[in-house]
Amino acid sequence: VILINGKPNDRVDALDRGLAYGDGVFRTMRATRGQIPYWLRHHRKLASDCAALAIVCPAEDLLRAELAEILSTESECILKVIITRGAGGRGYAPPVKPSGTRIIASFPLPKISTQIDHDGVRAIWCQTRLAIQPRLAGIKHLNRLENVLARSEWSDPQIAEGLMLDTAGRVIEGTASNLFILEGERLVTPDLRGCGVAGVQRERIIEVAGRAGMVCSVEEVTRERICDAKQILLVNSVVGLRWVSALGDLRWQQSWQTAAIRQALDDLAD
Amino acid sequence: VILINGKPNDRVDALDRGLAYGDGVFRTMRATRGQIPYWLRHHRKLASDCAALAIVCPAEDLLRAELAEILSTESECILKVIITRGAGGRGYAPPVKPSGTRIIASFPLPKISTQIDHDGVRAIWCQTRLAIQPRLAGIKHLNRLENVLARSEWSDPQIAEGLMLDTAGRVIEGTASNLFILEGERLVTPDLRGCGVAGVQRERIIEVAGRAGMVCSVEEVTRERICDAKQILLVNSVVGLRWVSALGDLRWQQSWQTAAIRQALDDLAD
């Protein structure tokens, strides 16, 4: 099902600026039992991403009502919300009175083996680098060619994720997930002031680390720190928390802290 | 008029990857007397940009026929061609057998005073910087948020263009044009190996400089070189060649070389 500005429709204006320039933002969420966990957090992120680009964000209750319409027939699915600056003429200048476009689409749940909690996932290093652009860093905007190119680097379904460096060689994130490393009993996640997407689950782990008996800090992460880490964690809103069992020649076992973080995340209501 | 995959249509698939990720490329061209000057050059650029992203580029004769269909009813217009990787499911991984989307749209000619050849144009410095991303540099792809943000920095119609620096402080281009500076009798255009769009008219000026009695070289351009230049030129396929009469506190008069380059460009058949 796809709703465009609230109406069932599977086509958008060919002159939408989301298509012309990637002039918009998005979120991908997992719905379960007809609900979207952490919805208010998702909307807060959507609103702050829109604000960063001076795009008008639809009101929380409007989006919630439209999502509920889809959830009434599909209670278990992936939901994607795209907000663009709307249709415009030719040229980069935003329209004086832009009328944004909101697209809500549902997708079937991906097949995720429950075994991965136990077995972990395999990851690789991507060659494609993230450019350093503080003006857009953290925002989940529609300019995602770097992620597309990075994700194109492998097709082996056994590989769950590719890790990306920025052009200065710092570790930033997975192509579609945020990254944490465990050092002793300390969690560290890469600083995203230069590039990367600051996701909602990353925010939740930062908040919840204390309850799992850990401190969590945001720092510059080098490849060396990845190699030396006790555990590498990947997180996003579609598949949740995963631990990396293999990356190149490196191998890890599940640490007890990973289970503790998973539990703390589950216990956090929002 | 808009043709999507050859058929009149003003709406595209809401799941097109051009919209989801900016996963595509485009060109904007000026048609005159039912013809597109330098069309083969435009198609060559389209093909090389597609190749850089592993997108299948439509054949030259197919696009030419579709453009001719529009030109048969609109002989003077701006034509925009967008090629995307096509519709896809959710997720960054390109479809195994992508079926690209081609969108051809016509727009009315912008009002350009013939006076600007004589008077020059006003430009400003933009605050928005271009990130350094060699993997995407030069390509006219659909990830254009930097240009959108830069173009949002002014609304005064007296200002024709904004000049953009990269994050290292080098001068790269205008928001929608390539840039040349005249130093003595030497033309210089910024090196675009880190960022920027390598446009068709830039390529033509580099080729034609010799005929106008100048050497042209591709170099790193600093702000200081802009300030000291004898002339600043802007070029694109919509409005052609323009000289900058004012940039901040700086003022220029038209140099005779500008007229010579204009003449040489007009004389170059393709």
Q: How high is the ipTM of this complex?
A: 0.97
**Which 195-234 residues of chain A touch chain B by CB within 8 A?**
195
Separation in Å, CA of A226 to nearest CA in chain B: 24
CB atoms A11 and B15 under 8 Å: no
What mean pLDDT is predicted for residues A192-208? 97
Q: Is A74 in CB contact (< 8 Å) with chain B?
A: no
Q: What confidence tier does B111 reach under pLDDT thresholds 50, 70, 90?
A: confident
Q: What confidence tier does A179 reach under pLDDT thresholds 50, 70, 90?
A: very high
C-alpha A88/C-alpha B165 separation (Å) is: 26
Separation in Å, CA of B201 to nearest CA in chain A: 18
* pLDDT above 90: residue B117: no
C-alpha B244/C-alpha A75 separation (Å) is: 59
CB atoms B148 and A9 under 8 Å: no
**What's the pLDDT at A112?**
78
**What's the pLDDT at B44?**
98
**Which 167-186 residues of chain A touch chain B by CB within 8 A?**
167, 175-176
* pLDDT above 90: residue A111: no
CA distance readout (Å), A106 to A1, A69, A77, A96, A240: 6, 11, 6, 32, 18
DSSP B212: G
List chain B residues with CB under 8 Å of A129. Answer: 133, 135
- Which of A10, A129, A151 has its CB closest to that of B14? A10
Token representation of residue A80: 């994607």
Separation in Å, CA of A55 to nearest CA in chain B: 11
* pLDDT above 90: residue B269: no
Q: What confidence tier does A114 reach under pLDDT thresholds 50, 70, 90?
A: confident
**What's the pLDDT at B240?**
94
List chain B residues with CB under 8 Å of A145. Answer: 21-23, 53, 136, 141-143
For the ranges A34-38, A112-116, B91-95, B190-194, which has the lowest average pLDDT?
A112-116
* pLDDT above 90: residue A197: yes
What is the pLDDT of chain B when averaged over all its residues?
A: 96
**Which 143-162 residues of chain B touch chain A by CB within 8 A?**
143-152, 155
C-alpha A259/C-alpha B28 separation (Å) is: 54
Q: For B169-222, write each residue's pLDDT tens digit.
A: 999 999 999 999 999 999 999 999 999 999 999 999 999 999 899 999 999 999
Q: For B37-93, write each residue's pLDDT tens digit.
A: 999 999 999 999 999 999 999 999 999 999 999 999 999 999 999 999 999 888 999
* pLDDT above 90: residue A5: yes
Strands B24-31 and A178-183: unpaired
* pLDDT above 90: residue A59: yes
Token representation of residue B10: 């003003």
CB atoms B23 and A145 under 8 Å: yes
What mean pLDDT is predicted for residues A15-22? 98
List chain B residues with CB under 8 Å of A18. Answer: 19
**What's the pLDDT at A74?**
96
Q: Is B100 in CB contact (< 8 Å) with chain A?
A: no
Q: Which of A87, A119, A63, A98 is nearest to A11 (CA)?
A: A87
Q: Is B107 in CB contact (< 8 Å) with chain A?
A: yes
C-alpha dihedral (B135, A137, A44, A174), degrees to nearest 10: 50
**What's the pLDDT at B159?**
97
For the ranges A96-100, A216-220, A237-241, B174-178, which has the lowest average pLDDT?
A96-100
What mean pLDDT is predicted for residues A186-196? 98
**What's the pLDDT at B113?**
79
* pLDDT above 90: residue A190: yes
**What's the pLDDT at A98?**
85
List chain A residues with CB under 8 Å of B16. Answer: 19
What mean pLDDT is predicted for residues A210-235? 96
Higher-pLDDT residue of B39, A114: B39
Residue of B nearest to A139 (CA): B145
Contacts for A68 with CB less than 8 Å, ≥ 6 apart:
none
* pLDDT above 90: residue B106: yes
What mean pLDDT is predicted for residues A97-121? 91
For the ranges A23-32, A115-124, B173-182, which has the lowest average pLDDT?
A115-124
Question: Could you tell me what percent of chain A has a pLDDT over 90?
Answer: 92
Q: For B155-170, write each residue's pLDDT tens digit.
A: 999 999 999 999 999 9
CA distance readout (Å), B20 to A81, A82, A129, A148, B97: 10, 8, 20, 11, 18
CB atoms A131 and B133 under 8 Å: yes
